[in-house]
Structure 1
Amino acid sequence: MTDRIWLQSYPPGVPADIDEGRYSSLVELMEESFSKYAKRSAYSFLGKELSYAEVDEISQTFGAYLQSLGLVRGDRVAVMMPNVLQYPAVVVAILRAGFTLVNVNPLYTPRELEHQLKDSGAKVIVILENFAATLEKCVAKTPIKHVVLCAMGDQLGLLKGTLVNYVVRNVKKMVPAYNLPDAVRFNAAMAQASGSSFKKVTVKADDVAVLQYTGGTTGVAKGAVLLHRNLVANVLQADACFQPALSRIASGEQINSVCALPLYHIFAFTVGMMFSLRLGGKLILIPNPRDFPAVLAELAKHKVHVLPAVNTLFNGLANHPDFGKVDWSHLVVSAGGGTAVQSAVAKLWFEKTGCAICEGYGLSETSPIATCNPVNVTEYSGAIGVPVPSTWLKLLDDDGNESAPGQPGEIAIKGPQVMAGYWQRPEETAQVMTPDGYFKSGDIGVMDARGYFKIVDRKKDMILVSGFNVYPNEVEDVVSQMPGVLECACVGVPDDKSGEAVKLVIVKKDANLTEVDVRAYCKENMTGYKHPKVVEFRTELPKTPVGKILRRELRNT
């Protein structure tokens, strides 16, 4: 699509295109911030703050340690940690040294971890000791040659660090027994390298920065190859989109962002860590986003300006009794992504904070942001917004041709943030990339006359009931607005008569909610073939660590 009709919907001040050559690499972007904002606080974690200068120093020391291991340019280093202070410093060290970061989900099983380490060819893993028992079960079958063990309290100072580590290990029993005799402690590695100097490396735009593995909820996890220029572009795209809101913050005031989503996830990595670095902001690291009382207690200590989150996090926080203990009056960006934001959640969030959820859309393969709603929009529309600067979207039919105007089609994305391909999987890369450079997302969407896109659903999630298409997102959005419903999910299940039938799983907000109530509400709000054949109540929905609902698990139970 050469005519970018969506540009008419951009707020004043948002450019049609970014300066893709502004930085040669993420390293240049980060080092600019280390220089400009040296005295500012970069990260806050459990009451401890690290300045930009301290992150600069720690990353150079740890980078020198990695260089001492004999790694060569482009070697992969895996990081398997939640949001702790070591994470960002280790990431900076890896990238500065010219190595490639492999982000690893800390909740992986040994089988999943083995696959990712073997597939990526990682030679080093930096891992929190809480997950060392998982590594022990598979490390012998992987290319890993060096293990660096971190502890929760490593960067908290001697007294507090010792106390935190004691509580984590002995009171909360969060570190299962493990045996990794050749592992090196993070603090020992830092001490070992303290006398060495970091050898500066020239990192280029087309060097591989990150192998970002897709969720793997449908088949084998694949590594999206994200180059330095891909991630730089997406940081600048986020900056361009959010500037109209950020400009409302007083000049010279440091921007505080919340990182409740895990840093190993591309949404938090780009819109949390890298974007905050670009702004000279402070990133508030939340190690466990599911502990709502702890999250809200931490946020009550800060001015909160930017909050990237998924629907389940917005919903859980807004419905928690401690929500009012946080001063939300400084919040200017509530960035929703990862999964569809439901209208009931968006309405509640706006009522309670005065800051509308700015829903966007993206994938690991797009670094991740591809579209975003303008930050000056306050009404929830259900749209994923318009393509971000320097980005083109088009809709493809089943034959790969552009869909007729107004017709749904597979969303295809072209822009500087689109991955170079899947790691060592040329055939799978060819399946998702068109000859003219568009990435086929697997999501079905429609576009209106203003250039706004709306997700209809994933191809694989669509339910076919007697020849009629039922889109789970629509059913979930309707039912989530019903009084008494906290959360819900919709999946297709086999049915002898209709081929497939709708199964609806609900978590109650009101204990008195009944199946009869649900069926009556669905009858009133949706046409017959969309009504659930099966209504099931549960105490919780199965989710990924990021908060995405695992529909696959609901289908199988």
Structure 2
Amino acid sequence: MACVSKSNYDAERKIWSGKDESDYYAADLSIGEIIFHEMRRHPKLIAQISDTENTVLTREQLHLNSMRVASYMRSLGMLQSDIVGIIARNTTHIFAVTYACFFNGIAFHSLNVSYEQATIEKLFNITSPRLIFCDGEDYKKVKLATANLNAKIITMRNHQIESISIEEVLATPIEAKFEPARLEQGNNQTLAILCSSGTTGIPKAVTITNSRKILNTGTKLTTADVQYSHNTLDWVGGLLTTVTSGVYSTKRIIADNPFDPARLLHIIKEHKLTWLYQSPYHLAATAFCPEFELAELQSLRYYFYAGDHCSLEAQQKIRNRCGHNCMHLVYGLTELGSPVTVNCHFDEKPNSVGRLMEGFKLKILDDQEHSLGPNEVGEICLYSGQYWAGYYGNPEETHKLRDSSLWFHTGDLGYMDDDGFLYITDRKKEMLRYQNIMYYPHEIEDVIAQMPAVAEVCVFGVWNPFNGDEAAAAVVKKFGAEIQAQDVVDFVQQHSSAEYKHLHAGAIIVDNLERTTNGKTNRPANKAYFIKAKNGN
């Protein structure tokens, strides 16, 4: 992708703007229509290789399978107002299901396979899917969670006797003269429904529109590129990889195993990956795994990572091994369906999430909602210029996120520098108060991250009736390193002159941090684990 140019800044209104959008494809074509026609242009190219299932599909084979699944849905009389449920790993045929939904103009609602039955029940009760595609090992959980929906359940692997297998669906004859459906609501129609990160309770059902902005991490991709993301379809990284590989006719590598950094390094070397999309958690795990010292990353042209804070040391380890300046930290909201900023200047601005992409505007607000200028910290607010249907079935939460002027209030704190580069400082909701003095967890995390033995850290407040939020830390040590909890407490005390930023509640050493299903650090869950560990439960 071409690096984004400097944002335009309106000093009077204190608003930054990215370049105007430009369309390569006809404006009235849906994402599904674009992919349908692109698949027919390159029928013999390899579309997909499963590194774990050892399967290979050409674009013609994937196209035929997608039309078979779409024809199956049409045989059931499904309408564009219906919803398809997906709670599955990246197996061979799940993307035929995805493209079938695109071809039919039917949105899918994707959930993470690790969700508990109660969460599945609450989320699918919101959208009421008529069809649900899941893996056989999750069939009973999904069946119990959706007992009141009367939905057909189709298993992708490890088929259960009571379920319909994906092979049965793929046996469906393709509808005569099959063509992708025209969208009843045009490109304002919902493409997919994902889930919010879930750090503050039950995830919300986030609608993603048929916007071209989802293509903005792939506009320079060609048929020579090889893409990979370990993320499944419930995370925007998994969705945009699926869309861009379809639109730009790339080769896509998939895997259905739990994330393994050593296996990722094998995939990069074996398949000569050129495009990689990771969460910061996966990036850090890759950078600090024992196999990294022999890693071959020279094939990578685009290395995107997004979703959370990532240590500069981990980023620099990756950057130093890449053959190109390919490190691209991106920032955005699931609700926007695509990255909003991208940093193509890692060496010059290593801590920034970059400049605005095409079609986006940004402003920074203080606590009184007054606009701030460059280098002033406040809440980041974004404007996409596109239609958004909101949280499915939840207008109240929709209005909380987006105001009457259609600006998204992210809850993230940050600032724009003089060059139009955005910096994230913290989450507004994560502000803590010790003896009536406010502080943010990242201020202490930044200190602890300086310790040579520390790989990852999460800081949170533990309530004390006298002091308020006393800081505590969960720390992951680097492979082979030796460190004790008291070492962390002592280091913070020695390196922070502000007494209220000391670890008054202590620290613990953990094998891994608690995370949301999307791989983000889950601060409330780490706090709960810390309290449980300290109480000896």
Whether TM-score is above 0.5 comes out as: yes
What residue is the counterpart of 1:234 in the other structure?
Answer: 214
Please state how far the C-alpha of 1:22 moved relative to its aligned partner: 4.2
What residue is the counterpart of 1:108 in the other structure?
Answer: 115
Residue 187 of structure 1 pairs with residue 194 of structure 2: no
Q: Is the 8 A contact 2:352 2:423 kept in 1?
A: yes
Q: Is the 8 A contact 2:472 2:503 kept in 1?
A: yes
What residue is the counterpart of 1:92 in the other structure?
Answer: 99
**Counterparts of residues 366-385 of structure 1 (less than 5 Å):** 366-373=336-343, 375-379=344-348, 381-385=350-354
Please state how far the C-alpha of 1:338 moved relative to its aligned partner: 1.0
Residues 1:205 and 1:190: Cα distance change in structure 2 (over 3 Å): same
Q: Is the 8 A contact 1:506 1:536 kept in 2?
A: yes
The Cα offsets for residues 202-248 of structure 1, whole Å up to 9 and x where unpaired, read as 1231221111221223133222222212xx2221x3235xx4xx6xx
SS of the residue 1:19 aligns to: coil
Letter in 1 for 2:199: T
Residue of 191, 194, 199 corresponding to 1:209: 191
What residue is the counterpart of 1:64 in the other structure?
Answer: 71
Letter in 2 for 1:29: I
The Cα offsets for residues 179-210 of structure 1, whole Å up to 9 and x where unpaired, read as x73x3111012214457664642123122111
Residue 50 of structure 1 pairs with residue 87 of structure 2: no
Q: Is the 8 A contact 2:196 2:334 kept in 1?
A: yes
SS of the residue 2:218 aligns to: helix
What residue is the counterpart of 1:538 in the other structure?
Answer: 510
Please state how far the C-alpha of 1:497 moved relative to its aligned partner: 3.3
Letter in 2 for 1:137: L
Q: Is the 8 A contact 1:261 1:289 kept in 2?
A: no
Q: Is the 8 A contact 1:84 1:287 kept in 2?
A: yes
What residue is the counterpart of 1:148 in the other structure?
Answer: 154
Residue of 295, 302, 309 corresponding to 1:340: 309
Q: Is the 8 A contact 1:492 1:555 kept in 2?
A: yes
Please state how far the C-alpha of 1:69 moved relative to its aligned partner: 1.2
Letter in 2 for 1:81: A
Residues 1:36 and 1:476: Cα distance change in structure 2 (over 3 Å): farther
What residue is the counterpart of 1:503 in the other structure?
Answer: 472
Please state how far the C-alpha of 1:471 moved relative to its aligned partner: 2.1
Please state how far the C-alpha of 1:520 moved relative to its aligned partner: 4.0
Residue of 308, 315, 319 corresponding to 2:288: 319
SS of the residue 2:405 aligns to: coil
Q: Is the 8 A contact 2:18 2:360 kept in 1?
A: no
Residue 137 of structure 1 pairs with residue 144 of structure 2: yes
Residues 1:193 and 1:36: Cα distance change in structure 2 (over 3 Å): closer
Residue of 392, 397, 400 corresponding to 1:428: 397
Please state how far the C-alpha of 1:554 moved relative to its aligned partner: 1.7
Q: Is the 8 A contact 2:225 2:274 kept in 1?
A: yes
What residue is the counterpart of 2:84 in the other structure?
Answer: 77
What residue is the counterpart of 1:36 in the other structure?
Answer: 41
SS of the residue 1:205 aligns to: helix
Letter in 2 for 1:260: H
The Cα offsets for residues 410-462 of structure 1, whole Å up to 9 and x where unpaired, read as 21111146733111222222222122221111111112122211112112222
Residue 514 of structure 1 pairs with residue 484 of structure 2: yes
Q: Is the 8 A contact 2:229 2:237 kept in 1?
A: no
Letter in 2 for 1:290: F
The Cα offsets for residues 372-404 of structure 1, whole Å up to 9 and x where unpaired, read as 11x243245322112111100111233333235
Residues 1:422 and 1:189: Cα distance change in structure 2 (over 3 Å): same
What residue is the counterpart of 2:14 in the other structure?
Answer: none
The Cα offsets for residues 324-362 of structure 1, whole Å up to 9 and x where unpaired, read as 554311112111101122212112211233545311111
TM-score (norm 1): 0.85
SS of the residue 2:331 aligns to: strand
Structure 1 window deviating more from structure 2 (446-455 vs 189-198): it is 189-198
SS of the residue 1:420 aligns to: coil
What residue is the counterpart of 2:125 in the other structure?
Answer: 118
Residue of 21, 25, 31 corresponding to 1:18: 21
Give the Cα–Cα distance (whole angstroms) in 2 for the partners of residues 314 and 417 of structure 1: 31
Please state how far the C-alpha of 1:144 moved relative to its aligned partner: 4.0
Give the Cα–Cα distance (whole angstroms) in 1 for the partners of residues 74 and 294 of structure 2: 46
Q: Is the 8 A contact 1:37 1:280 kept in 2?
A: yes
Letter in 1 for 2:169: A
Residues 1:388 and 1:22: Cα distance change in structure 2 (over 3 Å): farther
**Counterparts of residues 368-517 of structure 1 (less than 5 Å):** 368-373=338-343, 375-379=344-348, 381-403=350-372, 405-416=374-385, 419-509=388-478, 510-517=480-487
SS of the residue 2:171 aligns to: helix
Q: Is the 8 A contact 1:223 1:423 kept in 2?
A: yes
Give the Cα–Cα distance (whole angstroms) in 2 for the partners of residues 221 and 538 of structure 1: 26
Q: Is the 8 A contact 2:33 2:180 kept in 1?
A: no
Give the Cα–Cα distance (whole angstroms) in 2 for the partners of residues 291 and 476 of structure 1: 25
Residues 1:391 and 1:144: Cα distance change in structure 2 (over 3 Å): farther
What residue is the counterpart of 1:6 in the other structure?
Answer: 7
Q: Is the 8 A contact 2:213 2:338 kept in 1?
A: no
SS of the residue 1:106 aligns to: coil
Give the Cα–Cα distance (whole angstroms) in 2 for the partners of residues 495 and 471 of structure 1: 17
Q: Is the 8 A contact 1:367 1:418 kept in 2?
A: no
Give the Cα–Cα distance (whole angstroms) in 2 for the partners of residues 425 and 470 of structure 1: 32
Give the Cα–Cα distance (whole angstroms) in 2 for the partners of residues 449 and 82 of structure 1: 43
Give the Cα–Cα distance (whole angstroms) in 2 for the partners of residues 91 and 140 of structure 1: 24
Q: Is the 8 A contact 2:80 2:104 kept in 1?
A: yes
Residues 1:424 and 1:366: Cα distance change in structure 2 (over 3 Å): same
SS of the residue 2:474 aligns to: strand
Q: Is the 8 A contact 1:209 1:227 kept in 2?
A: yes
SS of the residue 1:290 aligns to: coil
TM-score (norm 2): 0.88
Size of the aligned set, in residue pairs, is 508
Runs of 5+ consecutive residues of structure 1 not aligned to the other structure: 9-13, 152-164, 166-174, 247-251
Residue 264 of structure 1 pairs with residue 234 of structure 2: yes
Letter in 1 for 2:319: F
Give the Cα–Cα distance (whole angstroms) in 2 for the partners of residues 363 and 107 of structure 1: 22
Q: Is the 8 A contact 1:94 1:101 kept in 2?
A: yes
Give the Cα–Cα distance (whole angstroms) in 1 for the partners of residues 129 and 311 of structure 2: 38
Runs of 5+ consecutive residues of structure 2 not aligned to the other structure: 10-16, 532-537
Q: Is the 8 A contact 2:69 2:172 kept in 1?
A: no
Give the Cα–Cα distance (whole angstroms) in 2 for the partners of residues 366 and 422 of structure 1: 11
Q: Is the 8 A contact 1:343 1:481 kept in 2?
A: no
Q: Is the 8 A contact 1:224 1:421 kept in 2?
A: yes
Structure 1 window deviating more from structure 2 (187-196 vs 213-222): it is 187-196
Q: Is the 8 A contact 1:391 1:414 kept in 2?
A: yes
Q: Is the 8 A contact 1:418 1:439 kept in 2?
A: no
Give the Cα–Cα distance (whole angstroms) in 1 for the partners of residues 117 and 392 of structure 2: 21
